[in-house]
Structure 1
Amino acid sequence: MPPAKKPAARPYHHGDLRRAVLTAALDVIAVDGPAALSLRDLARRAGVSHAAPAHHFKDRTGLLTAIAAEGFGLLAATLADASDLKDAGVRYVRFAREHPAHFQVMFTPQLLRADDLELATARALAADALRTAVSAVRPDDLGIDARLAGVAAWSLAHGFATLLLGHNLDGPVGDKDPEEVFRTLAAMLFRTGGKPDGPRS
């Protein structure tokens, strides 16, 4: 009796290979950071030839640029329905926690191809979503220019998220919900429906 034939390996469809390489890359970045990426290693992880990832991304910079573009698209979607600037900050922190590998890559421009159209488009969408949240702030609400309020909110959210992902806040945050901790911090700077308290006498 002839030996049973092994089932043919399922070929990757065009989109499957790209997604498989991106997923493998995100796993590596989440554990070891972007510096650990190797297209040859990712091909091995995805179960494809070592040349296959280059077909989709050309090189390591192209792969990281694709990750950043995807990240900005996800961030734009996360911020889309923010009710106000404070809520946008909470959503920003949530995005960083849910997509730590994307977050590491998105704000490291030296790793990316600056003239990439997909990246520029996704980055613009995220910026528009943030501007929408900022536009709800009236200058007299905070006593400062609304655009500067946006910079302050972004700085607070980005700094908090970066420190959180680096485990620099394990002590002060402890087992508390990081989003609730951020809400408390944001409330110290951004009051709803009135100007900040003046100096106490």
Structure 2
Amino acid sequence: MARQSYHHGDLKSVILAQAAALVAERGADGISLRELARVAGVSHAAPAHHFTDRRGLFTALATEGFTLLAAALSGARPEFAHAARAYVQFALDHPGHYTVMFDKMLYDATDPALRAAEVAAAAELTSGVATLTDPNAQADPEGAALAAWSLVHGFTLLTLNGAVADAEPVDTAERIARILFSG
């Protein structure tokens, strides 16, 4: 990443964007606040002002990710197959966020803002599941929600990890959602 001078008042957003990009590029293990400060062109203490430490950084990144996922799912209404598409597209568009969101060892899972963002994203996915006409899904909405999330999350991880070579993963997500949940 090229070093850029910091000349605006939104350092938190700049650092989160750079952290997401670096996580997507090489994983979370090697990311430090000091490196993010260097890349952002600010003092090494500046990121700590916003995040305290790596755990704080990843908590903020996961919170932002769940918030973005909730918005993507909200815009994908009304049916679950649309939510499946939106879920996979979100992960493809935000792989750094996605990586951190589902690695609870990286962040503070008790953070209230994070919990609220997770609940919002889960509610959006569940609202898509509620549109299923499958009698089994209607009889067991919690089981249907878990099955639906397992489907999209598992397919997304397979895609991001290169285990599934698919030229159109978003279309495939919709197709498999329809196959498994068409009643």
Q: TM-score when scaled to structure 2? A: 0.90
Which amino acid counterpart does residue 52 of structure 2 have in structure 1? K
2:35 maps to 41
Q: Give the drift of 1:143.
A: 7.3
Larger mean Cα displacement after TM superposition, 50-59 or 79-88: 79-88
* Alpha-carbon contact 1:139-1:146 (below 8 Å) kept: no
2:164 maps to 169
Q: Give the drift of 1:144.
A: 5.1
| Greater RCO, 1 or 2 (C-alpha within 8 Å, sep 6+) | 2
* Alpha-carbon contact 2:15-2:40 (below 8 Å) kept: yes
Provide the rounded CA distance (Å) in 1 between the counterparts of 2:7 and 2:64: 25
* Alpha-carbon contact 2:129-2:144 (below 8 Å) kept: yes
Max Rg structure: 1
Q: Give the drift of 1:117.
A: 1.5
Spell out, residue by residue over 1:57-84, the C-alpha distance to the aligned partner (whole angstroms, 9 max, x if none).
0000000000000000000001113221
Provide the rounded CA distance (Å) in 1 between the counterparts of 2:173 and 2:164: 11
Larger mean Cα displacement after TM superposition, 146-155 or 51-60: 146-155
1:53 maps to 47
Provide the rounded CA distance (Å) in 2 between the counterparts of 1:139 and 1:164: 27
Q: Does 1:65 align with 2:65?
A: no
Structure 1 alignment gaps of length 5 or more: 1-8, 196-201
Provide the rounded CA distance (Å) in 2 between the counterparts of 1:54 and 1:143: 48
Spell out, residue by residue over 1:113-142, the C-alpha distance to the aligned partner (whole angstroms, 9 max, x if none).
122121111111111112211222356265
Which amino acid counterpart does residue 158 of structure 1 have in structure 2? H
1:4 maps to none
1:24 maps to 18
2:125 maps to 130
Q: CA-atom RMSD, angstroms? A: 1.8
Distance 1:178 1:45, change over 3 A: same
Q: Give the drift of 1:106.
A: 0.4
Instruction: Count residues in correspondence.
Output: 178
Aligned residue for 1:123, secondary structure, equals: helix
2:109 maps to 114
Provide the rounded CA distance (Å) in 2 between the counterparts of 1:11 and 1:143: 54
* Alpha-carbon contact 2:21-2:96 (below 8 Å) kept: yes
Distance 1:178 1:96, change over 3 A: same
1:99 maps to 94
Provide the rounded CA distance (Å) in 2 between the counterparts of 1:90 and 1:64: 26
Q: Give the drift of 1:151.
A: 1.2
Q: TM-score when scaled to structure 1? A: 0.82
Q: Does 1:190 align with 2:174?
A: no
* Alpha-carbon contact 1:135-1:146 (below 8 Å) kept: yes
